[in-house]
Structure 1
């Protein structure tokens, strides 16, 4: 009896470890080579550059140095308690994304590079806001961020000599999306990759339910010609999905409705959903959180916990790119 119990326990532990072993095999065997860091300028250049950020609440233009921006941008996307290598990956992705936004804005002679909402911790926050939120933990977290930034300052991801569109999001469905499927533009560095660590996230799967009247009202704003006659169970038809599972289009009331429009109509966390109707109640089962393109922040944290460094994380989520120090 004792031997049987031990055997069952060992089998359970083996099953639990299978997903971790799988990603471990990927990271050691099929993970793309870490992007080579190419030096094209001294790190001191980072101290001279700045971003012009429009505050969405006040309409004021904030001038923020590149290094200061990194502090404020990292913590609007990841908790400072996250793994250092995940924070480094997030820092490089954010700096690349917003450096690209800056370059595009200045080509167009715009009066600001991009907008942010510091009041609501969106895109960028100040050091003073961090102090207010973190209290006694401020110095510990700020010192940790300083170590992260010292390591990656000035590094960007590039493809064919150009800054990439380094998009990121919270949680995938277990596989990221291609930019072509979500936004229509094909980029060889924004392609589907496995992100199995996301399945362990507490917010990986969510549900949302609506009455027939709530469902009809929400959809009519997106598809005013939809026909809602007959039993509610007949209102929803077939769905066309991406390779990674997000709904591209779904038939509702006889009309095709974009998956993103359904997501926004019902406030869903992603477009990767299934929809069921029972007793005139419509229930969405949603996987992941965000648009799904680029780096999964939850996946980056999982990879860091498994021993991957930031270069390996970036190579995994942004294949066919080069890490360049500017």
Structure 2
């Protein structure tokens, strides 16, 4: 019984020390500058360029699909990746975020060098690069919703054309998985 009491007292003392020690060593914060509200400016509509630049359709990739290397545009590749990596039934903004992450990852692989040497720029194997599904297979999987889902996925890729996540002007390693927050 005495051993139990000693263990309990030691545990309580350790917990109190763990939670109370930071309070004992905390200091008053340095003087915080006063918040100054920035002057409000009149809201104007953003200026839209006369012609939107197209980036994804202008770049050709060599994609290793099984044993075959296929040439396709970055736009077509991203449609297949977005369709494979996320259900087309998801919200439009989620599909756009997926398209940007997939584009960023692809650009990173092109910048950093591919795992496939001179054979291909990227592959369709999700354990190596990103999941990819050919549009014919995706449409077969989608059934009656095929037209709507294909348009939704293509719109997500097209509306984010050229958007990527960069750090210091270089694409980040935008890894993602089904349980990402």
Query: What TM-score, normalized by structure 2, do the two folds share?
Result: 0.63
Contact 2:75 / 2:158 at 8 angstroms: preserved in 1? no
Q: Does 1:55 align with 2:102?
A: no
- Listed as ranges, the gaps of 5+ residues in structure 2 are 1-48
Matches within 5 A, 1:1-326: 43-56=53-66, 59-105=67-113, 110-117=118-125, 123-171=131-179, 296=180, 299=181
Alignment check: 8 A CA contact 2:82 2:98 kept: yes
Which ranges of structure 1 fall in alignment gaps of 5 or more residues? 1-38, 172-295, 300-326
Deviation of 1:113 (Å): 1.1
Match of 1:305 in 2: none
Give the CA deviation at 1:157: 0.5
1:50/1:133 CA distance change after superposition, 3 Å: same
Cα deviation 1:101-155 (Å, max 9, x = unaligned): 123337x96221122149xxx6211111112111211001011123212321111
Asked whether the 8 Å contact 2:85–2:132 carries over to 1, the reply is: no
Cα distance in 2 for partners of 1:72, 1:117 equals 12
Q: Give deviations 1:253-307, integer Å, cap 9, x for gaps.
A: xxxxxxxxxxxxxxxxxxxxxxxxxxxxxxxxxxxxxxxxxxx1xx3xxxxxxxx
Residue 45 of structure 1 and its aligned partner are, at CA, apart by 3.0
Report what 1:282 is aligned to.
none
Preserved CA contact (<8 Å) 1:47 1:65: yes
Conserved in 2, the CA contact under 8 Å of 1:102 and 1:113?
yes
CA distance in 1, matches of 2:78, 2:123: 15
Whole-Å separation in 2 of the counterparts to 1:162 and 1:68:
23
Matched position secondary structure for 1:81: coil
Give the C-alpha shift of residue 160 in structure 1: 0.6
Q: Work out whether residues 52 and 114 of structure 1, in 8 Å CA contact, stay in contact via their aligned partners in 2.
A: yes
Q: Could you say what secondary structure the match of 2:89 adopts? A: coil
Q: How many residues align?
A: 127
Distance 1:109 1:151 in 2: 31
Higher strand share: 1
1:51·1:102 contact (CA, 8 Å) conserved in 2?
Answer: no
CA contact (8 A) 1:96 1:164 kept: yes
Q: Alignment partner of 1:52: what SS?
A: strand
SS in 2 for 1:169: coil
Moved over 6 A (4+): none
Scaled by the length of structure 1, what TM-score is found?
0.36
Instruction: Return the alpha-carbon distance in structure 1 between the equivalents of residues 175 and 98 of structure 2.
Output: 10
